[in-house]
Structure formats: C-alpha cells, structure tokens
Amino acid sequence: MKNPVSLPVFLLLLLQNVPVVPVTVTTYSPIVKVEEYSEARLSCEFKTEKDQNPRIEWKRKETGTSFVYFDNNFTGPFVGRAKIEGATITLQKVTLKDAGEYRCEVSASTDSVQLGEANITLKVLVPPHTPTCEIPSSALTGSVVELYCKDQYSIPPASYTWYKDKMPVLPSRHANTTYSVNKETGILAFHKVTIADAGLYHCEANNGVGKSKSCVGNHMAIDDLNVPGIVAGIVILCLVVSLCTLGVCYAHRQGYFNRKTQRKVILDPTVSWSGSHQQPEPQQIRGHPSCWLWTSFTECSGLQTHAVIYAVRSFNSSSKNTHTHTHTYTHIHTHIHTHTHIHLQTLYPESGDWCLTLTVDLIRTQNHFSPRAGR
C-alpha cells in the first residue's frame, strides 16, 4: 500500500502548477462624462506578479503626451485640485480644458511583463445656454418664411423645440404640410405661410444636461398681399411716366432745347475803335433772365467814353413780335471841345431775332456829357 501524500506537500505541488499572472491594469469606466465644474473620477485597478510596489503614472494625450501624475506628484494644472487612491485619480472642478484622453500606466520591474496600461476618455458636458432666435415680425401670405434657433455653447449639441402660443410645434407626419421643423438644426420652415400661422413663437434648447433654456418670444404677423393696391400703384406710375414724356416732347417741339445760350454784341462799322480795347461780351443781369449788361471803355474820335447800356427785351414766340425797352446810363470823360456823335448798334440774337438798335448822341455840357438814346 502506497503512502498517501501529505497535505502540505499537495498544496506546494498545486501552487507550482498554477500559472502566475503578470501585471494587469483595468478600469471600470473607460468613458467618464461629468458636467462642467463638477468632480471626475478616473478609475485604474492593477495586479502584479511579484512586484508589490509598482510605479504608477498618469498621462494625457494632447498635441503630444504630458504627465498628469509622475514620481508620486501631480503636475501642471492638476496641482492642488486632484488626488490619488491606489491608482485611481479624482479631478475636482473640471472644465472644458480637462476633456480628453487619459492613460494610466503601471510598471512592475520584477514581473515577467513589466508594463500594463488602461485608457480613459473624459467628456465634460455643458448645459444649454439661452439660444439665439431669429423670428420675423411679419410676413406675406404665400411667402417662404424660416425661423432659426441656435445654441453654440452646449455640449453635447442641443436639440430644439419650437413653440407657438406656448404649444409645441411638432414635426408633421404628412408630406404635404405647409411647414417642416428640424430638431437638430433648429430651423422651422414655412413653405407657404398662411394667416393661421400667425402667433407668438419661441424656441427651447435641451441637451439632457442641466435645465433647458428658451429664447425670448416674438409675435409673427401674417399680412394679406394687397393685389388691388399694387395694381393701382403700377397704373399711377405709368400715368406719371406718360405725362412726363408728353411734357418733354412738347418742350422739344416748342424749341426750348434748341435755344442758343451764346450772345454777342455787334457794333456799327462806322464807329472807329482805337487802342487795344476789344468789344466785350454782354452779361446777364441777376434777377432778369431777359436782361443783359454791356459795358465798354474805348476811345472814339479822340473822345474817351465809358458806357453802360441796359437792354430789356420781351419776346412773344407765337406772334413773333419783339418789344425792347432800353435804359442807357453813360459816363463820359473827354478832353476835346468839339461836338461828337457816336452811333452804337447792339445786337442780342436769340432764336434768330433782332433785339435792339441803339443810337447814343454825346452832347457837350460844360465838362460832362449827357446821353440821348433812341430806338
């Protein structure tokens, strides 16, 4: 009979046949979602083969790789607001800057497999902000109208619900409806707006984080298209254009656009001009559109004269009659004592008509001369 194997020997043999597990690292929550400014717990559990005091490190994947926990201390922005228990770390007052990929590493130098790691994703959630709404104050019946609602800060992106008179505007189940609503984009579109669509509209944003937020409502009025008024306005505009056209044609036929603006003075060729004086151009008198002023200073047969001649003309285009009124004021300075006559003929042509023929007689009176004018 064989001797039975003692219990201590049996246990020793059993332990020798059990496979040894090298260092392993696991996490209970590979994805962690927390609200902004709350606490985030990134779990990390490990087992080693022999090493009872392994090295623990936490790293974060950004543009590169940075340390969160190294050499038994937190680094960078985590100093003072993070703690570690075993290999699990807890971050306090997390912000959007803390969101990202984290890695827990456990190094056991005496184990057959010396390194184990686990990856955790931290997502920081942001509750809805008050959305921005675009709601028109009025629209015409039959026109296309779109209402917009957007919250650009919420994480994850918010979904939107439109309300009319405090009642939700639900997506229609019929394809031929006059409107469509998109909860993801926040657009409420009316393909052909009607009077029944008038009301007080507002939008609500919700992403499952915190409380939902609504924009300030606005009343949208729907007006009928005033077809008779538009037709009447077009008719009146056509009449005004027609009258203006007729007026321009009438003025053109009467010769208003063919009148010459250039005027000149023609002197009698019997008048002797001396020196470098040139015959001047007439100037129109302010306030009198048919009046011109002709001034001249010259020497005529040894007589120095300075004459100012005002010619006032009225013209009747239908009868072709010309009426001319002449007022002449002449300053004369002379050094001779002989009787001298000066004959001036002034011509103001307008539309081919003769205007004025003027004769000035200079008569000696002591040291001054008085004019005598005739038509």
- Return mean pLDDT, the chain: 72
Other Cβ atoms within 10 Å of 62 Cβ, number: 9
Other Cβ atoms within 10 Å of 324 Cβ, number: 17
| pLDDT for the residue numbered 188 | 95
Residues in CB range of 288: below 8 A, 6 or more apart:
312
Residues 312-322: pLDDT tens digits?
Answer: 333 333 333 43
* Distances from the Cα of 343 to the Cα of 101, 263, 266, 303, 362, angstroms: 113, 21, 12, 13, 10
| pLDDT for the residue numbered 48 | 85
Give the C-alpha separation, 306 to 311, whole Å. 16
Sorting pLDDT into bands at 50, 70 and 90, what band is 97?
Answer: very high
DSSP strand E in 258-290: where?
283-284
Mean pLDDT of 138-144: 91
Give the C-alpha separation, 32 to 153, whole Å. 20
CATH number of 132-223: 2.60.40.10
| pLDDT for the residue numbered 281 | 52
Give the C-alpha separation, 34 to 18, whole Å. 42
Q: In the beta sheet, which residues pair with residue 307?
A: 296, 330
| pLDDT for the residue numbered 171 | 80
Of the ranges 45-54, 162-171, 243-252, 292-301, the best mean pLDDT one:
162-171
Tell me whether strands 199-206 and 213-214 are parallel, antiparallel or unpaired.
Answer: antiparallel
* Sign of the alpha-carbon torsion through 163, 165, 166, 168: negative
Residues 330-358: pLDDT tens digits?
Answer: 433 333 333 334 434 444 444 333 333 34
CATH number of 20-125: 2.60.40.10
Query: Token pair of 94, please?
Result: 């997390």
Which of these, 332, 330, 340, lies nearest to 301 by C-alpha position? 340
What type of residue is 58? W
Sorting pLDDT into bands at 50, 70 and 90, what band is 136?
Answer: very high
* Distances from the Cα of 56 to the Cα of 59, 164, 250, 269, 316, angstroms: 10, 58, 103, 124, 115
Which of these, 127, 97, 96, 102, lies nearest to 41 by C-alpha position? 102
